[in-house]
Amino acid sequence: MTAPVVAAVVPAAGLGQRLGADGPKAMHLLGGEPMLVHSVRTLAAGPVDLVVVATPPGLGAEVLAQLAGAHPGAELSVVDGGATRSDSVRLALAALPPSVRVVLVHDAARPLVPAALVAAVVAAVEGGADAVVPGLPVTDTVKQVDGADVVVATVDRSALRAVQTPQGFRREVLDTAYAGPESGTATDDAGHVERAGGVVVVVPGAEEAFKVTRPLDLVLAEAVLAGRRQAGG
């Protein structure tokens, strides 16, 4: 196998507290398989040469066993994740070999991401962008409130995007952004790049790239997967 050029980092070390499941969310079953397996399978089937999963500490061997056979087109490795999502991503980035030039970061908790979205994000980075995020227009009206929950303003939602993963980066850009001091406020990877002064572009996201966060998201995910299986996908 040639040295990997496009890598995907998959933070999968979260507890899934909002889902309320017992055990790590990435290992929660969707259509009979852990969510993480769905995510890795889609990444590996596309233009990704190497997948590095940040696992709940101590679960690396179990995760490797679960993922056997799910990454035919890509190498796979695991690292212990950290206390926060940023820590988990940072630890996985440190495990990338020097040959890697393009890095995707993809939440294990977005198991139904379409392959076409993965390919579009990689293509945008290979086309010259430093940092790329998939985003969708916001459909709810968004209010800004003060400390007493009194509305201060209604935000112009036409200028807002709800962003997803995979987010894609030139490797140096993401390494540099994560090497900076921890801000504590960045809830995605592009946030670190923005804080470091980098330019982040948005490409069209996909509804099916939604994150499984609360129990209702799992109901939707099961329904989407059942529909795909019925359609032979």
List contacts with ligand CTP (CB under 6 A): 11-19, 25-26, 54, 81-85, 88, 107-109, 211, 213
The span from the CA of 149 to the CA of 139, in Å, is: 21
- Which listed option, ligand CTP, Mg ion, none, makes contact with residue 88 (CB within 5 to 8 Å by class)? ligand CTP
If the CB atoms of residues 66 and 88 are measured against ligand CTP, the closer one turns out to be: 88
The DSSP string of 107-174 is: -TT-TT--HHHHHHHHHHHHTT-SEEEEEEE--S--EEE-TTS-EEEE--GGG-EEE-S-EEEEHHHH
If the CB atoms of residues 70 and 109 are measured against ligand CTP, the closer one turns out to be: 109
- Which listed option, Mg ion, ligand CTP, none, makes contact with residue 15 (CB within 5 to 8 Å by class)? ligand CTP
If the CB atoms of residues 13 and 74 are measured against Mg ion, the closer one turns out to be: 13
Which tokens go with 32? 């009979």
Per DSSP, the three-state class of 97 is coil
Near Mg ion by CB under 5 A, which window of 14-22, 139-147, 151-159, 178-186? 14-22
Residue 28 neighbours by CB distance under 10 Å: 20
Compute the least distance from the CB of residue 1 to Mg ion, in Å.
34
Q: Are strands 102-105 and 6-11 parallel, antiparallel or unpaired?
A: parallel
If the CB atoms of residues 39 and 100 are measured against ligand CTP, the closer one turns out to be: 39
Contact at 8 Å (CB) between 43 and 35?
Answer: no
Contact at 8 Å (CB) between 67 and 60?
Answer: no
Compute the least distance from the CB of residue 154 to ligand CTP, in Å.
27
Contact at 8 Å (CB) between 78 and 64?
Answer: yes
Near Mg ion by CB under 5 A, which window of 6-14, 95-103, 110-118, 195-203? 6-14
- Which listed option, Mg ion, ligand CTP, none, makes contact with residue 81 (CB within 5 to 8 Å by class)? ligand CTP
If the CB atoms of residues 59 and 129 are measured against ligand CTP, the closer one turns out to be: 59
- Per CB under 5 A, residues contacting Mg ion are 14
